[in-house]
Amino acid sequence: MGPPRVIIVDSAEFPLRAAHCIAAALGSAVEQRGNCMLALAGGDTPLPVYDRLAALPGVPWDRITIYFTDERAVPPQHPDSNYRRATDSLLSRVAVPPERIHRMEAERPDRERAALDYEALLPAALDLVLLGMGSDGHTASLFPHSAALAETRRRVVPVSGASTLPRLTVTPPVLRSAKQLMLLVAGEAKALLVARALEGPEDVAVLPAQLALSGIWLLDRAAASRLVRTGAGSSVHPSDS
Ligand code: 6PG
């Protein structure tokens, strides 16, 4: 995969444009391969996108298998659960067969076992992985300077940092093997980080969201507002800087 493809849309249009982008990628994967292995991002940014996606016609949901990039160590009905939030905004409204929805059981006391069990469920290569970027540059639950960033063998690991709930997360090998990555970032608060990620030096330990530099970066105008050399449709790579 080459450098990122940057798509910049007006903030008001962001959820619907992102939903159309995802629907197109899902349809294309199903057309080419008969089914699509989709990993959903957590956090707030995707929620209005999932809401619009649920209402789009023609998505072959019966051919789509759902995974999660990460999950917090809370029960599935907890308001902080990525599974709960994706279910409320999307999965409860579309016809994905229940047996095709694979929840990360991060609430299990033995999170090591839960990580190994989830790893066994993952396909060798996901077709589409949706990601967000935190205000510290993390993606999935791969936080700056975390040991999980150096993982080359395991594909799901437990993580726990001082400032956040313990979690399970996919590791860089899962992102690197994915056929398509799509990073969704909105809001002025992340504009500097987006600019650093797309136009600064590549250092995944400092800016784990750079693991998605080979994918599509779907930005609203506010999140893209500090970009200097990167416009919509750009294929840019920090090594060009
Ligand atoms: C999580 C997410 C995380 C998220 C970023 C951005 O479980 O928190 O997977 O990686 O994508 O923190 O979150 P927002 O979209 O809420 O800013």
Tell me the pLDDT of the chain (241 aa) as tens digits.
467 799 999 999 999 999 999 999 999 999 999 999 999 999 999 999 999 999 999 999 999 999 999 999 999 999 999 999 999 999 999 999 999 999 999 999 999 999 999 999 999 999 999 999 999 999 999 999 999 999 999 999 999 976 778 999 999 999 999 999 999 999 999 999 999 999 999 999 999 999 999 999 999 999 999 999 877 666 544 333 3
Query: What is residue 162's predicted lDDT score, i.e. its pLDDT?
Result: 64
- The residue whose CA is least distant from atom 12 of ligand 1 is 134
Ligand 1 site: residues with CB under 6 angstroms?
41-45, 69-70, 82, 132-134, 138-141
Using most ligand atoms within 8 A of CB, pick from 40, 70, 103, 143 the residue to mutate for ligand 1. 70
Measured at the alpha carbon of residue 37, what is the angle toward residues 32 and 40, in degrees to the nearest 5? 130
Q: Kindly give the number of the ligand 1 atom that is closest to the alpha carbon of 132.
A: 11
Query: What is residue 2's predicted lDDT score, i.e. its pLDDT?
Result: 62
In the numeric block, the tokens 């659960």 are attached to 81
What span, in angstroms and rounded, lies between the C-alpha atoms of 191 and 161?
24
- The residue whose CA is least distant from atom 15 of ligand 1 is 45
What pTM does this model have? Answer: 0.95
| pLDDT > 70 in the chain, percent | 95
